Structure 1
């Protein structure tokens, strides 16, 4: 009688192992690269040399740390199954852009850190669904501009850090919806105090001085004076800020428009632009070496589980026939 009982137990164990292999492994205890804490529902994947975000992060996760890796791009849907996240750190990576809608499902997010990346711009509406956000870290990037209304939905935000970027101005009304704001860091940007566009920021800083911390530290490009001290007479020039946000006085634009086309030098197009034009795109998820090893071991484990399961089933059938 012990024969079929042992075979049945073996079948159950192997089936469980097969399901585990099929689900994949994220946490170290399951053979993955990340550290998971079941009690706090947190997953720590920081400092793992990742070039892609693991695709099987548990849906119950509330805190996700992905800092100090080599992430250069994100899939638009990479966080769509993690609606319970309250904390997300992508700091200290190589991110150059954010895809539209990447944070749309993170409706419970409280803290978002995107610091120390290579972001030059933000897609319109990228934070519109983060209505519970209280902390937003964007410092130490290469932001040259902010889209209109980018902070309009962040009425719960109390800490915004934009320091150490390449911002020359902000859109009119950029901070008007931040009714809960108590700390804004704006220093370390080349604020252009010769153009009229700076007057909104100057007036906003002057109005919030004493109630919002650190805003007084914003200085005009070159450190000649504080942004809050700029007068209308000093910021008298109408400037045009194209996508590069480099201020171009209208006189220069007129001169360029009237010049002979033959005088304009031909600009080389970077190779990556040709690739984009031809429809070439890098894959969103490039497996890291640990992930490759995880995949190989997972497949080997799966094959072994199937072989052993088949053997157990054949053994049970053979025993029952004898009986």
Structure 2
């Protein structure tokens, strides 16, 4: 009976090796596209022309860089749900136009979130509500034209908020009231409308914070008139304007379909050129990110060898069982 036992052990070892190989394929040294350091706590997938987020990022990852890629919508709503240890996440310099509801909900340890230089036009209500440890939020160089009510209400530890170079004309009343730890806010590069009384809340808040020594507040200027927002008085902004910037609704064009949000199977289509990369027609640094294509040709051959050995081990077990 020792023969079947040894064969079973061989089968377990080979299966474990195969699973390990498949999981390791994220990292460049294992045939994947990303660089992994410090026992994979730091994963760098920047500058890789990725069109989708890799699905096998290690659960122990604390720092994840996905900046300077070609990520666009739709992002899977659960793309980061297994990465609760993340403290740093960079999604900057991509092509994101919207964020799915709940995409950051499991990142309860995140302290640094960078979404700069995308094409975000709006933010879903509650998108940052679970990020209670966040200290830096980077939203620079997007196309934000509105902020939902209470979008920063849970960010009591936030020290730096960068909203410069967007399309904001005002902010909801009370938008910054919960930012009790804020020390630097950058708001310039927006077309702040200082003719409507919707700007008064922001003007008073900025004036108060400027008196307290808050950095960056005096550079937020009105779209017209040449004044700084913090200099605006109720007399200056007497008009009761109706502005789409005050709405809390998400424009229909940027909403993620319910079928995408609530579908537990988030299959990402692989462009044809990615399969060509997998077959060796392009540089291995730009392999596609789907599990079936993450490994290099050498990794694929190794996988096939593992499968052959596993099949042989199974036949070996059956042979001895049949004799028994």
Q: Same fold (TM over 0.5)?
A: yes
Find the residue that maps to 1:194 and give its secondary structure.
coil
TM-score by length of 2: 0.79
Distance of 1:312 and 1:169 partners within structure 2: 68
- From the superposition, tell whether residues 232 and 244 of structure 1 become closer, same or farther in structure 2 (CA, over 3 Å): closer
Bigger RCO of structures 1 and 2 (CA < 8 A, at least 6 apart): 2
Distance of 2:60 and 2:4 partners within structure 1: 39
Mean alpha-carbon deviation: is it higher for 8-17 or for 177-186?
Answer: 8-17
Corresponding residue of 2:100: 99
Mean alpha-carbon deviation: is it higher for 312-321 or for 202-211?
Answer: 312-321
Matched-pair contact (CA < 8 Å) for 2:120–2:142: yes
Matched-pair contact (CA < 8 Å) for 1:41–1:63: yes
Deviations 1:241-269 (A, max 9, x none): 22698xxxxxxxxxxxxxxxxxxxxxxxx
Corresponding residue of 1:260: none
Indicate whether 1:79 and 2:80 are aligned: yes
**CA positional deviation for 1:8:** 8.6
**CA positional deviation for 1:19:** 2.1
Matched-pair contact (CA < 8 Å) for 1:144–1:168: yes
Matched-pair contact (CA < 8 Å) for 2:93–2:118: yes
Distance of 1:174 and 1:285 partners within structure 2: 36
**CA positional deviation for 1:305:** 1.8
Distance of 1:224 and 1:284 partners within structure 2: 50
Matched-pair contact (CA < 8 Å) for 2:170–2:245: no
Corresponding residue of 1:286: 269
Deviations 1:75-127 (A, max 9, x none): 11111111110000000000000111111110000000000000010000100
RMSD: 3.3
- From the superposition, tell whether residues 218 and 15 of structure 1 become closer, same or farther in structure 2 (CA, over 3 Å): same
**CA positional deviation for 1:167:** 0.3
Distance of 1:42 and 1:303 partners within structure 2: 30
- From the superposition, tell whether residues 6 and 227 of structure 1 become closer, same or farther in structure 2 (CA, over 3 Å): same
- From the superposition, tell whether residues 6 and 193 of structure 1 become closer, same or farther in structure 2 (CA, over 3 Å): same
The residue correspondences of 1:208-227 to structure 2 (distance < 5 A) are 208-210=209-211, 211-222=213-224, 224-227=226-229
Distance of 2:178 and 2:8 partners within structure 1: 64
Q: Work out which of the two has the higher radius of gyration on C-alpha atoms and give 1 or 2.
A: 1
**CA positional deviation for 1:306:** 2.0
- From the superposition, tell whether residues 98 and 174 of structure 1 become closer, same or farther in structure 2 (CA, over 3 Å): same
Q: Which 5+ residue runs of structure 2 have no aligned equivalent?
A: 275-286
Distance of 1:244 and 1:72 partners within structure 2: 26
Matched-pair contact (CA < 8 Å) for 1:51–1:285: no
Corresponding residue of 1:181: 182
**CA positional deviation for 1:7:** 7.8
**CA positional deviation for 1:234:** 1.5
- From the superposition, tell whether residues 95 and 284 of structure 1 become closer, same or farther in structure 2 (CA, over 3 Å): farther
Matched-pair contact (CA < 8 Å) for 1:51–1:286: no
- From the superposition, tell whether residues 131 and 316 of structure 1 become closer, same or farther in structure 2 (CA, over 3 Å): closer
Q: Which 5+ residue runs of structure 1 have no aligned equivalent?
A: 246-271
Find the residue that maps to 1:209 and give its secondary structure.
helix
Corresponding residue of 1:122: 123
Distance of 1:202 and 1:215 partners within structure 2: 10
Indicate whether 1:20 and 2:3 are aligned: no
Find the residue that maps to 1:310 and give its secondary structure.
helix
Distance of 1:94 and 1:218 partners within structure 2: 26
Corresponding residue of 1:267: none
Mean alpha-carbon deviation: is it higher for 64-73 or for 293-302?
Answer: 293-302
Q: State which of 228, 231, 235 in structure 2 corresponds to 1:229.
A: 231
**CA positional deviation for 1:229:** 1.1
Corresponding residue of 1:257: none
How many residues are treated as equivalent by the alignment? 291
Distance of 2:224 and 2:81 partners within structure 1: 43
Distance of 2:43 and 2:98 partners within structure 1: 24
Distance of 2:260 and 2:84 partners within structure 1: 31
